[in-house]
Chain A
Amino acid sequence: NAGVTQTPKFQVLKTGQSMTLQCAQDMNHNSMYWYRQDPGMGLRLIYYSASEGTTDKGEVPNGYNVSRLNKREFSLRLESAAPSQTSVYFCASSESTTGTATNEKLFFGSGTQLSVL
């Protein structure tokens, strides 16, 4: 059971470089999410997609773009990386469809540790 798969596991970028973080889930979940985790700040939502073809901003969307390629895949792109984007990034998915309870019972990937120099 793969669950939520993220790639790459580690990445080092120079300021200004671009990259895309890939995420795929095999649980037939409707909703997918991208979070960043920083020390002492818990998990903060960057973007989410409540269904295929839709995306919405979370708490900290600036500097990021996302694509819900299909029901399985949700990618996160940094167009011009900045040192402030050094963080651990987690992709997650849930069964929730569009509606009030959009974010419960999340299943997380194992994370991408990104350093921007």
Chain B
Amino acid sequence: GQQLNQSPQSMFIQEGEDVSMNCTSSSIFNTWLWYKQDPGEGPVLLIALYKAGELTSNGRLTAQFGITRKDSFLNISASIPSDVGIYFCAGLSSNTGKLIFGQGTTLQVKP
């Protein structure tokens, strides 16, 4: 079946550093979503992207819908301890109309 490859699997960074993560696939997607999951909670939507090339920001977070429609990127600038959590990408398949989740990127921030 369709898969999303999310990388890196985990990151351990110093407070104040910038963070980048991405999701790639061999399939084309119509929508890209980025979620954050805090420990013990459900995922919460951060950013939604609907057009190839679209660049959208939400505070210190910036996400881009890849030109090929097969990938997406999330950047976090000037990380703070509350950025800790698991970040998931999700793509809405143009073939099946189904939402597929990446495996998640676990972020840890050292104060």
Do A and B assemble together?
yes
- Residues of A at the B interface (CB closer than 8 Å) are 4, 40-45, 59, 90, 92, 99-111
Q: Is B88 positioned at the interface, with any CB of A under 8 Å from its CB?
A: yes
Of the four ranges (under 10, 10 to 19, 20 to 34, 35 or more), the interface on chain B belongs to 20 to 34
A59 to B2, CA, bound (A): 11
**Quick check: is B21 within 8 A (CB to CB) of the other chain?**
no
The docked-state distance in angstroms from the alpha carbon of A104 to that of B90 is: 9
The answer to whether A106 touches B99 (Cβ under 8 A) is yes
Contacts A42-B104, A101-B92 hold; do A106 and B31 have CB atoms under 8 A apart? no
Q: Contacting B103 at CB < 8 Å: which of A42, A99, A106?
A: A42
A101-B92, A103-B92 known; 12 new pairs, CB 8 Å cut-off, are A42-B88, A44-B101, A100-B97, A101-B30, A103-B98, A104-B31, A105-B48, A106-B43, A108-B43, A109-B42, A111-B40, A111-B41
Give Cα distance in the complex from A106 to B9, angstroms: 23
Q: Which of B76-94 contact A (CB under 8 A)?
A: 88, 90, 92
* Majority SS at the chain A contact face: loop
A102 close to B43 (CB less than 8 A): no
- Majority SS of interface residues in chain B? strand
B45 at the interface (CB under 8 A from A): yes
Q: Which residues of B contact A42 (CB under 8 A)?
A: 4, 6, 88, 101-104
Q: Can you identify 5 A-B contacts, CB atoms within 8 angstroms?
A: A40-B103, A41-B103, A42-B4, A90-B43, A101-B92
A40 and B43 alpha carbons, distance in the complex (Å): 15
